[in-house]
Amino acid sequence: MVRAGRIRVADVAVRQLPIGPMANFGYLLADPAAGVAAAIDPSFDGRSLEAEAERLGVRVAYVLLTHGHPDHVGDAERLARAAGAKVAAHRLARVRKDVELEDGTLLELGGVAVKVLHTPGHTPDSCCFLAGRALFTGDTLFVGECGRVDLPGSSVEAMHDSLLRVLRGLPDDLVVYPGHDYGRAPTSTMGAEKAGNYTLRPRTLEEFRRFMREP
């Protein structure tokens, strides 16, 4: 973990890979010049992420978890052992972790600064990861939708804050990389989501509560 000012600007390589039977996306985030990468949400089987890292000639230094649901973390331990990587997740995540993350934590990945945005709602530990113009949103934000808030540990109130304060406040040119392939396209931009994602429309908390109760 480092201060942002100490991190040089680097070219960020992102690889999005479908994994498993629940339309999950796993990601490889890499600084090819430095030869290091992070695997994000390896889901049920991170071997495709390992193969992509080998193809790029980079070493997986971190396994980053957006939240602790089994469909996102199932292969995290095996991948971390195989790669000699550190598992990093929010401190509230009910998974074994080498690095505990908080809102605003900065991780150094070669020349890439990875900023942690704590975005609870779907789960108490849900996070998004911001690296350059890439925003990995896990199950907080999908293309055209948001994550469920009817599961144990979910919170409509927290999701309202995460969507309408944290994410709506981000620049329009960020590329959204969601945790599942649930939308009209595998990726989007924050500008497109602000304009077209009905879950991101400005609403008061009470309006958002009523909206989330609608079928």
Task: Cite the active site residues.
Answer: 67, 69, 71-72, 122, 139, 180
HEC per residue, the chain = CCCHHHCCCCCCEEEEEEECCCCEEEEEEEECCCCEEEEECCCCCCHHHHHHHHHHCCEEEEEECCCCCHHHHCCHHHHHHHHCCEEEEECCCCCCCCEEECCCCEEEECCEEEEEEECCCCCCCCEEEEECCEEEEECCEECCEECCCCCCCCCHHHHHHHHHHHHCCCCCCCEEEECECCCCCCCEEHHHHHHHCHHHCCCCHHHHHHHHHCC
Give the sign of the dihedral formed by CA 74, CA 176, CA 91, CA 109.
Answer: positive
Cα separation of 64 and 76, whole Å? 9
